[in-house]
Each structure stands twice: as structure tokens, then as C-alpha cells.
DNA sequence: TTGAAAGCGCTAACAA
DNA sequence: TTGTTAGCGCTTTCAA
């Protein structure tokens, strides 16, 4: 029914007016007699006309499209983040273009190209890759989430340092004596390093020796398990673990069982993220929850300020909270 | 650095050739002397030229954009499905536009409008809403996933009926005598009804009485729990549950504990979906796994066939498998 | 209050 | 092998 090839000109002919007039009706601009507006509306109805936004985009030099570049949507944290961002963008009538880099710098570079080619109006980036200088060279509005991307790119983070403190303090309160931290390698100053910093600071204050195991984000579940098995073998004394995210925490708990270490009696584990799905599927996990809805709100706010040429903050740090449950 | 306002004409001037020639170089079309190609490439480099895809889209009447309309990405099944789809689209150099309807028909309608306005080349729909006739009226290539949308719209499903059989059979093998099924209400013939059909058929064959509890997809966790509490109160004899998805299975297991029913001794539960995240966070769940990667592959295949005007199947049904774990 | 015409940046007949 | 020109569908200046 909706004839794709109906164009403004056809509506104009049908209504017996000029293209200009139809355009004015469409955009509600300029002086128009009630009668004309009426006629045009009728013609639009009759022909099932729908404006071609691409033509409009070409003229306006703006697509009302925002690209979301994240490692993957197949992870509770990023899935929720993208969902929250998308919801807010839709409310502002912006489309959300997905770009999941799989933590592969080459892919991320390709995405950036693909998405820039689609003339997006802005970029929200939460991918982990470093060393991609191309971002600096786009004059596009960008907001980064939990990732340092350069001095001039605003960043939204949660209070990672305090999160680290809360987690380690929780384990100490539980009486843990040998606390290990897992983290993913980061090649540049990155907010998640603050968790490790906090972990080390708190441990030092208590005269304990910090030990961190690096676990890449993009390796297989089995590969991660291997790292954790190594950890249990090398440190049989471990009685508390501060994991860098909830899925790793879950994995660690499982690997612990292989070593006959059961949570929370022989082992305490605190995770990080506290996304909806994780809370739903693993409510027993004690974790540090990041304020995902607020982070999304702030990110959109910063992006829109840039798009509208208004002033905006360079850094937004949002509070985390400890979710007390039964694994620690 | 990448000057947004550099256009084809500037490159032409810089290289001392016509716009056509530059366009030809860009698209690798027609006869070109090596020298010219070289000159043009140099000019492109020098000016940091990047083609404006919107202009190209206007001409070609194709955006290389595909819209994904799903209830939400904040759910393991849909998150993985969207991730798989997006990956395949990117490989074909198509952009993926997200549209998460939150299971709200009004929102879905708005999305459809927003996305159609963006002149997407195709639609992949897995939202649950019914009664949206607008889909029928777009002449756009559409593929539906696990949802009946009309005779002329191809659909990719997993073998829901066999999945239902497998699940119920598993519970029967465990010795369950009182098996309840949970499902979400569907307003039209929908593939998930086949699970219920299989459930009822198998139970009837064993002379048992089927009981199904309806749980809406879009209500809160607390609201769902209420339904399940009601279920345990009304049917204290229940010893086996075939849940319509894994998150509900997880919820049921938790609610069961409130009634002092512990899995798998006092209660067996089989879920449905078997998405990555669920397997990761709740590996103990016995479930029916849908072949998400294959479903995505097929969906893209059917969509691309439509876009390219090639013949395509109207229905694709893919096999499921039982994942044996410890909740049943 | 309305319309003619130019132009957004690109591509492709057609001509040379 | 290359260039001229019209046009994709829309918006807006400028003029009436």
C-alpha cells in the first residue's frame, strides 16, 4: 500500500500546489492558509506519501543516527548499556547503529569507517581497544564510556576506585586474609585500572600483598577457566577474590568447586557490574553495581550537548553501590 | 584532520580531472588510465576525502541499513541473536539499526515508522506484538524470527514442537508425575505455541493433565514471581516444570526455594533458549537450546535473497537440542 | 500566502 | 579514456 515511489512532487500535483508548499506543510514552516494545509494533508493520505529521509539528510547534512561501538552486546553489562542508550536515543528520535567490535582493533577500525560512512551524527564508544587514533580525527561528537580516549573526548565512568574499595573492604570484613584480584589488561590509563589501584591501596593499608591475575576480555570461556585454575594452583591459600566483572566471578566460583573450594564457606567472591541479567540469573552474587541507567542518561546528555553546540562536562563520575548477597 | 566538507568536486579539482573520473576511481568502474587513478588517489589522500554516503544512498535508493526489531537487547536470547545478526550484517557491509520495542505495540509501531523513514533496505523482526498490520504494507524485504507475521513473510524458527517434546520427556524420565508448563500469552498462531502443544500432547499420551500458567514477557521480575508463587500454592503437588525460557526457569527455581522445594530433589525444572550468557551464568540449568547462530545465518540469508530479488524459502525450521545439566 | 529555481554530493547516460 | 549534464528527493532563498 505504502507506495515507496510516491514523492513530494506527486503530492504537490495531487493537491494542486507547488513542491515548496508541500514541504512547508510537512515541516510546519512559513505562512500557510488553512485550506492549503488541508488539501495537502488529504493528498498525503490519499497517496500514502512518506517523505524520503535520505534526501532530507543530504540537504540537512545530518542523519539523526548515532553509532554505538561496544565490544559485544552478548554480555549482560553491554547489553543493558546498549538497551538503555537505545531507549533514550529513540525518545529523541535518533536511530541507534550497532557496532560490536569483538574487542578486535581491526574490526573496531572497520566499524568506525563503516559507521562514519553512514554519516552518523555522533558516536558513543565503550569498546576496549586502544591505539585507535582515528577517533581523534573525526570532528564528530563523541562520548566515551569507561574508557580513556583522549583529552578532548568526554568520558562517563562509574566510581571505579570507590567500587574497588567497597569490594575489598567487604572481603576484609568477611575475614579474608589472602585476597586476589582479576582484571583485564589495559594498555593505557583506563578507568578500570582504578579498581586495581583501590585494591592495592586497601591491601597495602592492611599490610597484605596484592596479587592480580590478568584475564583478557575476548578469550574463550575455557581459556579463562585455565587462568583461574592456574590461580587456584599457584595460590591455594586464596580465600577472597575481587573479580573485575560478574561473569568472571561466576566462572571463578565454578572453577573453585573443582578445587573443592565452596562459596561462601571456603571462598568469598565479589564481582563487578551488577547488570540486570546477572542479578536475575545469579542473584546470589555479591557485587559492585554500576549505575547503568544513569550512565546512559549522562552519555546521551553529553552527546546531545555536543551535537547542539552547547557546553558540556569533560568527565562524569557516577556512584557505585555494593550489593550484598551470599557469595561474600 | 578528516575535513568533513571535502567533496568529490574538490578532489576532482585537486587531481585536475572531472567529477565523473573521480567517481569512477572510487567505484572502480569503467576505463581508467593508471596515471589518472594514481593522481586521483593522491588527491584523495591529500585532502582526506571520504565519500558522502548519504548522497550515494539518495541516488542508489538504498541505504545498506537493516533494522532489527526485537523486544529488548537486555535478555540473553535476544542479546545473542542481535549480536549474531549484527556480526553477519557487518560482514556484508550492512549497518544494523536497533529497535527495541519493549513489547509495547505502540512503541513497535513508532519504531517501524522511525526505521522506515531511515529508508532501511530490510527488516528482521522478532518482537512479540501482534496486530501490527503496517508490516504488510511495506514492500520491504522482511524476515521474521519465531513469530508468525503473515503468509507472505518468511519465518525462521527453531523446532519448538520437538523442543517441547524433549523437555517434557526429560521430566517424565526423571519420574515427574505433575508437570506444569509456563508460557507467555500469544494472540495469534505463534511458534512458541507449539511448545505448549507438544507439552499437552505428550502429557495426554501419558494420561496426565496439562496445566499451563501464562506469564507476560514484559512484566517486572516481581510480578512474574507472584505468578509462580500462585502456581506453587495452587499446585503443591507439582514436581516438574517446563518453563518457556531460561530466565523464567531461573526465577521458578528461586521461588521454589521459598516453598522449600529444592532442585533437583523436590523439583525438576527444564528451561528453553540456552543462550550463551545463560549457559555462562547458570550452567546448572537443564534446558532446550535453540540454534541461535544458525537462526541468524538463515535469517540473513533469507533477507539477502529478498534484497537481491532471488528466490527464498518461506519457512525455515532448525533443530533444537537438550542440554543435560543438573536442574532436571 | 505561494512558487520557481538552485543546490545538498553523488552517479550514470551519453557524447566526445 | 575522459567529460558534460541531468537527476536522485528534498529544503530554502528569493521573488512575486
Residue B217 pLDDT: 82
Closest residue, chain A, to B82 (C-alpha): A73
Residues 6+ apart with CB under 8 A from B171: B179, B240, B241, B242, B268, B270, B328
Instruction: For strand D, give the nucleotides within 7 A of a protein CB.
Output: 1-5, 7-13
pLDDT at B3 over 60: no
A173 beta carbon < 7 A from strand D?
no
- What is the average per-residue pLDDT within B251-280? 96
Work out the mean pLDDT of chain A and round it to a whole number. 91
Select from A112, A120, A142, A280 the residue whose CB has the most chain B CBs within 10 Å, as the one to mutate to test that interface.
A280
A31 beta carbon < 7 A from strand C?
yes
pLDDT at B142 over 90: yes
pLDDT tens per residue, range A189-200: 678 889 999 999
Q: What's the rounded Cα separation, in Å, for the pair A97 and A279?
A: 27
**Region of poorest pLDDT, from B172-181, B184-193, B310-319:** B184-193
A32 beta carbon < 7 A from strand D?
no
CB contact under 8 A, A86 and B74: no
What would the grid cell of residue B230 be?
500462585
Cis previous bond, B20, omega within 30:
no
Residue B1 pLDDT: 35
Closest residue, chain A, to B117 (C-alpha): A53
- What is the average per-residue pLDDT within B150-157? 90
Work out the mean pLDDT of chain B and round it to a whole number. 91
pLDDT at A3 over 60: no
Same fold, A65-157+294-318 and A160-289: yes
Q: What's the rounded Cα separation, in Å, for the pair A25 and A23?
A: 5
- What is the average per-residue pLDDT within A132-157? 86
Q: What's the rounded Cα separation, in Å, for the pair B304 and B306?
A: 5
Å: A239 CA to C5 C1': 79
pLDDT at A1 over 60: no
Q: Where are the beta strands (DSSP E) in chain A?
A: 65-70, 95-100, 122-125, 142-145, 155-158, 179-183, 211-214, 240-242, 268-273, 286-289, 315-318, 321-323
Closest Cβ opposite residue B74 in set A68, A116, A277:
A277
Break chain A into its structural domains and give their ranges: 8-60, 65-157+294-318, 160-289
pLDDT at B152 over 80: yes
pLDDT tens per residue, range B98-132: 999 888 888 888 888 888 888 899 999 998 767 77
Superfamily of domain A65-157+294-318: Response regulator (3.40.50.2300)
Residue A189 pLDDT: 65
pLDDT at B172 over 60: yes
Which residues on B lie below 8 Å from A97 (Cβ)? 65, 95-98
Closest CA to B157 of B195, B101, B122, B187: B195
Residues 6+ apart with CB under 8 A from A55: B58
Handedness of CA B66, B70, B75, B77 (dihedral sign): negative
Closest Cβ opposite residue B138 in set A2, A52, A250:
A2
Residue A184 pLDDT: 86
pLDDT tens per residue, range A49-94: 888 899 999 999 899 999 999 998 889 999 999 999 999 999 999 9
Closest Cβ opposite residue B82 in set A73, A221, A276:
A73
Residue B129 pLDDT: 67
Select from A60, A90, A102 the residue whose CB has the most chain B CBs within 10 Å, as the one to mutate to test that interface.
A90
Q: What's the rounded Cα separation, in Å, for the pair B39 and B98?
A: 40
What would the grid cell of residue B101 be?
520495542
Instruction: For strand C, give the nucleotides within 7 A of a protein CB.
Output: 1-5, 7-13
A62 beta carbon < 7 A from strand D?
no
Residue B118 pLDDT: 84
Domain A8-60 carries which CATH code? 1.10.260.40
Residue A256 pLDDT: 97
Strand A286-289 and strand A321-323: the pairing is: antiparallel
- What is the average per-residue pLDDT within A21-42? 89
- What is the average per-residue pLDDT within A288-309? 96
Which residues on A lie below 8 Å from B71 (Cβ)? none
Q: Percent of chain B having pLDDT more than 70?
A: 97
Q: What's the rounded Cα separation, in Å, for the pair B256 and B245?
A: 16
Q: What's the rounded Cα separation, in Å, for the pair A186 and A196?
A: 11
Residues 6+ apart with CB under 8 A from B91: none
Å: B117 CA to C2 C1': 28
Checking each nucleotide's C1' against the CA of B56, the nearest proves to be C10
Residue B134 pLDDT: 78
Backbone angles phi, psi at B61, to 5 degrees: 60, 40
Q: Percent of chain B having pLDDT more than 90?
A: 71
Residues 6+ apart with CB under 8 A from B59: none
Domain at A160-289, CATH class? alpha beta
C-alpha distance from residue B142 to each of B49, B137, B306 (Å) = 35, 11, 8
Amino acid at each position: 500500500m505504502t507506495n515507496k515511489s510516491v514523492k513530494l512532487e506527486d503530492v504537490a500535483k495531487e493537491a494542486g500546489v507547488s513542491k515548496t508548499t508541500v514541504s512547508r506543510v510537512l515541516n510546519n514552516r512559513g505562512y500557510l492558509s488553512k485550506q492549503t494545509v488541508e488539501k495537502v494533508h488529504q493528498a498525503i493520505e490519499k497517496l500514502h506519501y512518506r517523505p524520503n529521509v535520505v534526501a532530507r539528510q543530504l540537504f540537512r547534512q545530518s542523519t539523526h543516527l548515532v553509532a554505538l561501538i561496544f565490544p559485544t552486546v552478548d554480555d549482560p553489562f553491554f547489553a543493558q548499556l546498549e538497551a538503555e542508550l537505545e531507549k533514550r536515543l529513540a525518545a529523541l528520535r535518533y536511530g541507534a547503529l550497532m557496532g560490536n567490535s569483538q574487542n578486535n582493533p581491526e574490526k573496531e577500525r572497520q566499524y568506525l569507517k563503516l559507521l562514519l560512512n553512514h554519516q552518523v551524527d555522533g558516536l558513543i564508544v565503550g569498546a576496549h581497544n586502544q591505539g585507535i587514533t582515528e577517533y581523534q580525527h573525526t570532528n564528530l561528537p563523541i562520548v566515551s564510556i569507561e574508557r580513556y580516549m583522549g583529552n578532548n573526548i568526554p568520558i562517563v565512568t562509574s566510581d571505579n576506585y570507590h567500587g574497588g574499595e567497597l569490594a575489598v573492604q567487604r572481603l576484609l570484613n568477611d575475614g579474608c586474609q589472602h585476597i586476589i584480584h582479576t582484571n583485564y589488561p589495559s594498555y593505557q590509563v583506563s578507568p578500570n585500572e582504578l579498581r586495581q589501584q583501590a585494591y592495592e591501596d586497601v591491601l597495602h593499608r592492611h599490610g597484605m600483598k596484592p596479587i592480580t591475575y590478568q584475564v583478557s576480555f575476548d578469550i574463550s570461556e575455557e581459556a579463562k577457566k585455565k587462568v583461574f585454575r592456574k590461580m587456584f594452583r599457584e595460590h591455594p591459600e586464596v580465600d577472597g577474590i575481587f573479580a573485575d566483572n560478574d561473569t568472571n566471578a561466576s566462572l571463578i566460583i565454578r572453577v573453585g568447586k573443582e578445587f573443592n573450594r565452596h562459596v561462601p564457606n571456603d571462598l568469598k567472591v565479589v564481582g563487578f557490574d551488577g547488570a540486570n541479567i546477572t542479578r536475575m540469573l545469579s542473584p546470589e552474587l555479591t557485587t559492585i553495581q554500576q549505575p547503568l541507567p544513569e550512565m546512559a542518561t549522562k552519555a546521551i546528555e553529553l552527546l546531545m550537548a555536543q551535537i547542539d553546540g552547547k557546553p558540556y562536562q569533560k568527565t562524569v563520575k557516577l556512584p557505585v553501590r555494593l550489593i550484598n548477597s551470599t557469595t561474600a
